[in-house]
């Protein structure tokens, strides 16, 4: 059986790092990508992944990323996760056009470019998994969240369109709604209290892996995860 190649786009010390860790644990070769190389290179050292710099909103940068992964691993990724997002907080009365566009570019356009390139490669083999990271804002928009929710709503629409388009061609596309804050110092929250309303990155990553492992006769197009104490 051919060894899996997992590409995680949008990697930080929380969920992105945990996703790479989980696929590496399963024996996959792992490629981690972020806009800046130095931070992701440090994360990659933990489990021997390859690190790449990529601006997911730039088509040429994404093409260069896939070319580099294919060169370094000898094949295209069999699993791709788009974990990047863009956010600008504020009332719609105060957000500037360039701020809004940048957040949308990172939240949705990047997912389209990365997902399209994954799909183009996966349909050739009739297999592969493409996963998108969503949020509470993918389905509920709050005051001062337009600069985040619009991108996440769009990414969810993209995921469902791709699932219907690529599923019959053997590619599993799914959207994961992370309905809550993620535990970790990078989020400004550290606690050992089990009742705290935070999701553990490694636990979320396990759900992504299980989505990838699903049999094609029972593929899920979307799943949501949240702490057991969350009221929803």
pLDDT of residue 198: 92
3-state secondary structure 32-65: EEECCHHHHHHHHCCCCCEEEECCCCCHHHHHHH
pLDDT of residue 188: 40
Using pLDDT thresholds of 50, 70 and 90, give the confidence band for residue 229: confident
CA distance 193 to 188: 15
pLDDT of residue 125: 97
Question: Is the per-residue pLDDT at 187 higher than 60?
Answer: no
pLDDT digits (tens, 9 = 90+) for 208-217: 999 999 999 9
pLDDT greater at residue 231 or residue 151: 151
What mean pLDDT comes out for the span 100-126? 97
Give the bridge partners for 189, in sequence order: 184
The radius of gyration computed from the CA coordinates of the chain, to the nearest angstrom, equals 17
Buried b (16+ CB within 10 A) or exposed e, 65-102: bbebbeeebeebbbbbbbbbbbbbeeeeeebeeebbbb
What mean pLDDT comes out for the span 122-146? 95
Name the residue among 18, 7, 10, 24 with its Cα closest to residue 79.
Answer: 7
pLDDT digits (tens, 9 = 90+) for 188-226: 444 444 446 899 999 999 999 999 999 999 999 999 999
pLDDT digits (tens, 9 = 90+) for 1-37: 579 999 999 999 999 999 999 999 999 999 999 999 9
pLDDT of residue 177: 97
When the pLDDT of each residue in the chain is averaged and rounded to a whole number, the result is 93
What mean pLDDT comes out for the span 58-64? 98
pLDDT of residue 196: 65
pLDDT digits (tens, 9 = 90+) for 65-92: 999 999 999 999 999 999 998 888 889 8
pLDDT of residue 189: 40
What mean pLDDT comes out for the span 143-149? 91
What percent of the chain shows pLDDT beyond 70? 94
Residue 171 CB-half CA count within 13 A: 27
What mean pLDDT comes out for the span 180-190? 64
CATH of span 5-225: 3.40.50.720
Question: Is the per-residue pLDDT at 96 higher than 80?
Answer: yes
The pTM of the whole model exceeds 0.85: yes
Q: Where are the domains of the chain?
A: 5-225
Question: Is the per-residue pLDDT at 232 higher than 90?
Answer: no
CA 47 to chain centre: 19
């Amino acid at each position: 059986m051919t060894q899996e190649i997992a590409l995680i786009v949008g990697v930080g010390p929380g969920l992105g790092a945990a996703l790479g860790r989980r696929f590496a644990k399963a024996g996959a070769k792992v490629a981690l990508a972020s806009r800046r190389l130095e931070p992701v290179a440090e994360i990659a050292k933990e489990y021997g992944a390859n690190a790449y710099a990529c601006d997911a909103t730039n088509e040429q940068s994404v093409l260069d990323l896939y070319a580099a992964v294919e060169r370094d691993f000898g094949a295209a990724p069999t699993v791709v996760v788009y974990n990047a997002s863009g956010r600008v907080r504020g009332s719609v009365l105060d957000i500037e056009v360039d701020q809004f566009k940048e957040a949308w570019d990172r939240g949705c356009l990047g997912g389209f470019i990365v997902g399209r390139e994954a799909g183009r490669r996966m349909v050739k083999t009739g297999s592969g998994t493409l996963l998108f990271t969503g949020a509470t804002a993918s389905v509920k928009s709050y005051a001062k969240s337009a600069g985040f929710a619009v991108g996440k709503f769009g990414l969810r629409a993209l995921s469902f369109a791709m699932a219907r388009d690529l599923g019959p061609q053997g590619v599993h596309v799914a959207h994961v709604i992370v309905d809550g804050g993620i535990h970790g110092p990078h989020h400004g929250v550290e606690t050992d209290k089990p009742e705290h309303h935070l999701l553990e990155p490694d636990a979320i990553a396990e759900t992504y892996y299980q989505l990838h492992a699903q049999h094609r006769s029972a593929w899920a197009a979307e799943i949501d995860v949240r702490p057991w104490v969350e009221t929803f």
